[in-house]
Structure 1
Amino acid sequence: MEEHGVKEQGALRRTLSARDLIVYGLLFIGPLAPVGVFGVLDAKSNGAVALVYVVATIAMAFTAISYAQMSRVVPEAGSVFAYASAGLGAGAGFLAGWLVMLDYLLIPSVAYLFSGIALHALFPAVPAWAFTALAFAVTTALNVSGVRLAARVGLVVLLAEVTVLAVFVVMAVAVLVGEGPARPWLSPFTGVGGTTVAAVIGAVSVAVLSFLGFDAIASFAEETSGDSRQVGRAVLLCLGVAGALFAVQTYLAGVLDPVPPAELAAHPAAQGTAFYDVTGVAVSPWLATLMKIAKAVGPAFAAMAAVAAAGRLLYG
C-alpha cells in the first residue's frame, strides 16, 4: 500500500484507470481477431457468422460476470490462482495458477512467432526471426519500463487497429449502399439458405477463442486506481465492446462475400484468407494489405499484455 506518497516495499503501484484495463483487455483480444477465423466460421455455420459471434458473446458473458464477482470479493493480482485458493483451497489454487500460467506463456510465444512470420511475408527481405526478435525486444522493454507506459503505448496500437477496422466498416457500407450485397442481407444471422443449431454451436466453439485474453484484466487488480468493482466493470465492458466489434465486421464481410459457404467448406485452404479475399475483391486491395499489417503487428502487443499478466500471476 502507499501512504503519504511512500509505497510499501514489494507492493504494486495503483496507477491503472478503467480505460487502461480495457485497453489491456482489448489489446490481448485484438479488435481484428475474427479476421483469421472468418472463413472457418463461415463454412461451419453456413454463412451465419454474425449470429455465431452474438451467441459466443452471450456464452462468454457468464465467464465475464463470474470474473467480475470474484475480482470484487478477492481483489488480488493472482486472478484465477487467488480465486481458486480462496474458494477451493491452496491445492486447487496452486493447480489452477500453473494451468493458467501455461496459457500466458504459450500464447505470447505463438504470438511473437506469428508476428515474425506475418511481417516476413509482407517484407521478404527481412528474415522472420529478425521480426520476431524485434517484437519481443520492443514489448519486453515496454513491460520493464512500467505498466503505465506500456498501457499508453498499447492504447496507441489499439487505436491504430480500431482505425483500420473503422475504415473497413465505412468502405464496406459505402460498397453496400452503392452496389448492394453479394449475399442476402440477413444471411449473417440466418445462414445462406438456412443453418442449424448444431452448425452454429460447432462454430461457436471456435469463435470463443477470439475472446481469449479478456480475463487477463483481473490480474491487474492490485494496480487499479479505483475501488474493487473497477476490474469487474472493465471485464464486462471489454467483452461487450469486443462482441460488438466482432459482430459488425463479420456481418459486413458476410454480406459482401461472393464465395458461397459450401465452396469454402469444400476448400479448407481458402478459409484462412477468406476475410482478406473479401476485403480485397469487394472493398479495396490496399485495405486488405493494411489489415494484414495490422494483424501482423497486433499479436506482438497482445503478447505484451499476456506477459504482463503472467508477471502479475507469479507475483500473486
Structure 2
Amino acid sequence: MTNADGSGPGTAGASAGTERDGLRRTLGFRDLVVYGLLFIAPMAPVGVYGALDARSHGAVALVYLCATVAMAFTAYSYAQMVQVVPRAGSVFAYARAGLGKGTGFVAGWMAMLDYLLIPAVAYLFSGIAMNALVPSVPSWVWTALAVVVTTLLNLWGVRAAARVGFAVLAMEIAVLLVFVVAALVVLVQDGAARDWLSPLTGDGTQGAFSLGAVLGAVSVAVLSYLGFDAIASFAEEVTGGSRRVARAVLFCLVLAGTLFVVQTYLVALLEPASSAELADQPEKQGSAFYDAVDASVGTWLHDLVAVSKAIGAAF
C-alpha cells in the first residue's frame, strides 16, 4: 500500500531518520543569498558586455531587463517546487518527484555536469585574470591555488564557507559600488559618450531599434544568471523551512538583475566605441568593459575590477 505521494509505508520512518541524522540546519536567509550571488557573481556582465552590446545594437541594459524577466519564471518555478519537494537534490528531486525516476536520473546528471563545468571555467578565468596582473606567475599556478583554497574551505564546513563567502561577496559589491560612484562622477563632469537613453533604446549606429537583436542578445545574457538555482540545493541545511529558500531564490534573482542593469547602463554610457565598431571588431568585445573603464576612469579601476573578478570567480 502506498501513500498519496507514491511512497511506501516505510517512507515516514525513513524521513524521520533523515531529519534526525541528516544535514545540520545552520544556514539563514543571508547565507542563502550570499551563496546565490557568489554563484552568479555580482559583476558577471563584465566578460560578456562587449558581445551583448554589439549584438543588441547598443541596448545592453534593456537586454538584462528582459533577461531578468525571463529568468523570473524559472525562479518562481524553483520557489514553488522547493516548497513541494523540500530536498537537497534541487532539480533532480523535482524531476524525480514529478516526472519519474528516469527523468530524475537524467536531470541529476545534467545538473552534475553543470556544477562540474561552471567551476572549471571559473577557476580557469581566475588564473588567467591573476596572470594578467602578475605575469611572472603562470596562470596554472593561480588556478591550482584557487582550487586548493576553496576545496579546503569546503572541507572546513558549510558554515565556515558561508562566512568566507560573505566576505568575498562584500568585496565584490564594494568594488561594484566604487565603479558606480566613479562612473557617476565621470558622467557628471565630462558627460556621456553615448546618448543617455541608448542603453535602453540602442545607439543607432547599426540602424533602428531591433527587438530581434535584443532578444538574440538575451539568449546569451541569461548565462549570467547561472547558479542562483543552487540555493535550492541547501533545502535541508537552512533554518526556517523551505519557504525561506523560496524567498531567497526570488530575492537573489531580483537583486542580481538590478546590479546587472545598473552596471551595464553606466558602462554603456562610458563606452567610447559604438556598438557597430564592436560588431566589426569581435576581438575587442571581450575586453570592452575593461577598456571603457580604463579610458574613462583610469587604470586603477581596471585593475581593481580584474582582481575582484578573479577572486570572485574562484569562490
Q: Specify if TM > 0.5.
A: yes
Give the match for residue 7 of structure 2: none
Distance 1:119 1:258 in 2: 26
- Percent identical pairs in the alignment equals 66
Letter in 2 for 1:12: L
Give the match for residue 267 of structure 1: 281
Which stretches in structure 1 are left out of the alignment for 5+ residues? 2-6, 302-316
Moved over 6 A (4+): none
Q: 2:140 aligns with which of 100, 124, 129?
A: 129
For each residue in 1:36-62, what CA deviation from the matched residue of structure 2 results, as whole angstroms up to 9, or x when unmatched? 001001100111000000000000000
Distance 1:18 1:226 in 2: 9
Distance 1:208 1:19 in 2: 24
Distance 1:58 1:144 in 2: 36
Deviation, 1:130, is 1.3
Q: 2:190 aligns with which of 179, 185, 195?
A: 179
Distance 2:265 2:140 in 1: 36
Give the match for residue 277 of structure 1: 291
Distance 1:161 1:299 in 2: 10
Letter in 2 for 1:206: V
Q: 2:83 aligns with which of 72, 75, 80?
A: 72
TM-score (norm 1): 0.92
Q: 2:225 aligns with which of 211, 236, 239?
A: 211
Give the match for residue 98 of structure 1: 109
Deviation, 1:201, is 0.5
Distance 2:53 2:139 in 1: 30
* Paired residue secondary structure (1:110): helix
Give the match for residue 309 of structure 1: none
Deviation, 1:128, is 1.5
> Are the aligned partners of 2:91 and 2:107 in contact in 1 as well (CA < 8 Å)?
yes
Which stretches in structure 2 are left out of the alignment for 5+ residues? 1-12, 14-18
Give the match for residue 300 of structure 1: 314
Q: 1:33 aligns with which of 19, 41, 44?
A: 44
Q: 1:117 aligns with which of 115, 119, 128?
A: 128
> Are the aligned partners of 2:126 and 2:313 in contact in 1 as well (CA < 8 Å)?
yes
Deviation, 1:267, is 0.2
Moved more, 191-200 or 207-216: 191-200
Give the match for residue 245 of structure 1: 259
* Paired residue secondary structure (1:223): coil
Q: Does 1:201 align with 2:215?
A: yes
Distance 2:231 2:65 in 1: 22
Letter in 2 for 1:290: L
* Paired residue secondary structure (1:46): coil
> Are the aligned partners of 2:153 and 2:161 in contact in 1 as well (CA < 8 Å)?
yes
Deviation, 1:255, is 1.0
* Paired residue secondary structure (2:203): coil
Rg: which structure is higher? 2
> Are the aligned partners of 2:78 and 2:249 in contact in 1 as well (CA < 8 Å)?
yes
Deviation, 1:8, is 3.4
For each residue in 1:113-170, what CA deviation from the matched residue of structure 2 results, as whole angstroms up to 9, or x when unmatched? 2211221121111121211111011101111111010011000000101000000000
For each residue in 1:56-77, what CA deviation from the matched residue of structure 2 results, as whole angstroms up to 9, or x when unmatched? 0000000000000000111100
Q: 1:8 aligns with which of 8, 20, 25?
A: 20
Alignment: residue pair count = 295
Distance 1:268 1:176 in 2: 27
Deviation, 1:254, is 0.8
TM-score (norm 2): 0.92
> Are the aligned partners of 2:57 and 2:202 in contact in 1 as well (CA < 8 Å)?
yes
Give the match for residue 4 of structure 1: none
Letter in 1 for 2:270: L
Distance 1:17 1:158 in 2: 16
> Are the aligned partners of 2:25 and 2:237 in contact in 1 as well (CA < 8 Å)?
yes
Q: Does 1:52 align with 2:63?
A: yes
